[in-house]
Amino acid sequence: MDAPLLNTIQTPADLKRLSIDQLPQLAQEIRQTICDQVALTGGHLAPNLGVVELTIALHYVFDFGYDRLLFDVGHQCYPHKLLTGRLALLPKLRTREGMAGFPDPDESPYDLFAVGHAGTAISTAVGMARGDQLNNEADRKAVALVGDASIVNGVAFEGLNNAGTLDRQFLVVLNDNGMSISDPQGAMAAYFDRVRVSPTYGDFKKRAHKVLENIPGGSILEEIYHRGGEILKHAIATDHMFEHFGLVCVGPVDGHDLPTLIDMFNEVKDIDRPVLLHAKTIKGKGFGFSEDDATTFHSPKPFTVDGCRVEVASGGRSFTAAFADAMLALMAEDEKIYTVTAAMGPGTGVDKLIEQYPDRSRDTGICESLAMDMCAGLAKTGIKPFFAVYSTFSQRALDQAFQEVALQNLPVRVCMDRAGLVGGDGAVHHGFMDISIFRPLPGAVLMAACDEPTLKAALHFMRDYDTGASFLRYPRDSVAESPLQTDADCPPFKLGKANLVVAPNDKPDLVILAYGMPVYAAAEAIRKLYDESHDTPDTYDIALYDARFAKPVDIELLRRIIDADIPVLTIEDHTLAGGFGSAVLEACNEHGLPTHKIKRLGLPMKWIKQASRNAQLKEVGLDPDSIAETMKELIAAHPVNTHDHATARTQ
């Protein structure tokens, strides 16, 4: 067996010392290393396995210590990281001490942007290309690595439109694996399917270069045809759709053929025109299970392989699963309901709805703006649209939520999964801004669910709320196995009304208003305080409310609490700036209520790096122990009762 190669690669300079004949072995080692690690910790598997050869070839030809490499989304960056000196960080993948799951400039100068959203690479690469020209460094090559699902994003098309105006080298590598997280959507996907099977693309050598004289921009292509090598001559595509953006289009080529890729990159790297290289790859390449089921293995939890079987670790019942089941029940009751997602079918649970109700569900692909506008159009016709989207991606549709939804008073229902801290995906995916983004919209209603019963109740409320837009947030977490209130006990959502879940026996020392999942951390904190003090005179009497609404807040409840001179603690897994606690302070100010006994807990004004969700909550003081300490401090600072108290009880 040949000696291992990956351990010898500390920088891309080490890669360049290998012969081309050694590179397939390196590719296999990279795949095996990634598979072994993701099996232990979870992470993005199939996207990374599909770009191993592309990444090796890019680093073999370009010098990205000087040249520019921009990733789109970034979840396909593991091979890049292993080739740029971060093998030692891999064992602690997606933790604070280890390798981030997305590009991170704090981790390495080879990562230019911390990026986790689709559609951005071409536009940022155009900016860097222009900036390098202004700095008299136009010899720095610019490369954007983009997926076929990402390139349909509106920002990507805007980037292509501007890339075509560049008068310098610029390369877009289109990684076409025929997949988003799941199957690609829309007319573009159908176009790529036709390109892959077209005999026009199957035999480049049959094309006569005379064709170049008869097409727009043909003189440019003719020049490149004569200057390029044989591979480039035979690969130039004269009828590729992106040619009309002013790009020289090449391919498709085999994205796993290392010698051809290296030859191709060598031939296009010095072309002083924008070029798009279309590479056909297989998502999940080299691992049979991910090749057969790239959706499941896009970003799996830890898994084990037992012969012909693979078992993916299972957690508790997720909020996503609870949402999907609740929506299936609602759609069975109401034929006017229509569900929409933007390329996140499995991630939001909408894939189950599409399977059950294909005529009343739609995956629009990676285009949240279109999805929001489409929902506005549906609502205008009397349909009841539910847009299921990650909180971090909902912000991409803010303008449409403003112009086409809120301004028209249309009842679009936005269900935001992954709200709050998301764990290993880190800062690029935290859902920490949705309250502050959507709360200013006139007529909008903002809600949060803390468990499965409240999630169901909130969705029922949204179905019947037709005065304006409604927004519901819930976390990337498991629903409580023993909810504070069962379906039968959970009261319906009433506009702007909080719900008491832990009641005091006497006038409370403190009232907690928790928004969303922190209700459970607060309930645990109350139990901890009681366990610590039930044998002492310092037993606390605390009331806990599930706030339910960030807009409108329960001002009648606040008035009663503040008039009774009881301190208030607000808790949210959202930034304090413009969040639920801010809404409480603003409502009190508007109604002339004093706020000096109100304290807010939420996310600080800093980026929270990758770690487990529990570790992140502890870091920001939103775990039960930290909340308990804050409660004691607030009670000590504003004492209410002087007599002994009985135990707080769960209603």
Query: Which of 93, 109, 137 lies closest to 426 in space, CA to CA?
Result: 93
The answer to whether the Cα torsion of 207, 211, 213, 217 is positive or negative is: negative
107, 243, 368, 572: which is the annotated catalytic residue? 368
Q: Which of 86, 273, 280, 283 is catalytic?
A: 283
Q: At 407, is the secondary structure helix, strand, or coil?
A: coil
Own/partner contacts of 489-494, CB < 8 Å, gap of 24 or more, are 489/453, 490/453, 490/454, 490/456, 490/457, 491/457, 492/457, 492/460, 492/461, 493/447, 493/454, 493/457, 493/458, 493/460, 493/461, 493/548
Among 31, 86, 396, 463, the one annotated catalytic: 396
Contact between 224 and 249 under an 8 Å Cβ cutoff? The reply is no
Cis before 24 (ω within 30): no
φ and ψ of 28, to 5 deg: -65, -40
Contacts from 264-267 at CB under 8 Å and sequence distance 24+? Answer: 264/231, 264/232, 264/235, 265/57, 265/58, 265/60, 265/61, 265/62, 266/61, 267/228, 267/229, 267/231, 267/232
- Beta-strand ranges (E) seen in 89-203 are 142-147, 170-176
- How many CB atoms are closer than 10 A to CB 555? 15
Pairing of strands 445-448, 549-551: antiparallel
Pair of tokens at residue 540 = 């606390």
Closest C-alpha to 510, from 640, 644, 649: 640
* CB distance 192 to 148 below 8 Å: yes
Q: How far is CA 497 from the centre of its chain?
A: 31
Which residue in 465, 492, 463 sits closest to 336, CA to CA? 463
Residue 411 is encoded by which pair of tokens? 């009842």
Asked if 94 is an active-site residue, the reply is no
Amino acid of residue 457: A
* DSSP-based three-state secondary structure for 445: strand
* Rounded-to-integer distance, Cα 113 and Cα 396, Å: 18
Burial degree of 70 (CB within 10 A; 0-12, 13-18, 19+): buried
Beta-strand runs (E) in 449-563: 470-473, 499-503, 510-515, 542-546, 549-551
326 in Cβ contact with 455 (< 8 Å): yes
Q: Which two tokens stand for residue 542?
A: 């605390």
Q: What is the DSSP string of 197-259?
A: H-HHHH-GGG--GGGGGGSTTHHHHHHHHHHS-HHHHHHB-SS-GGGGGTPEEEEEEETT-HH
Query: Would you call 368 a catalytic residue per the annotation?
Result: yes
How, if at all, do strands 274-280 and 248-254 pair?
parallel
What H or E segment, with its residue span, contains residue 72?
none
Q: What angle do CA 517, 104, 626 make, to 5 degrees?
A: 30
CA distance 259 to 404: 50
Active-site residues, by number, are: 283, 368, 396
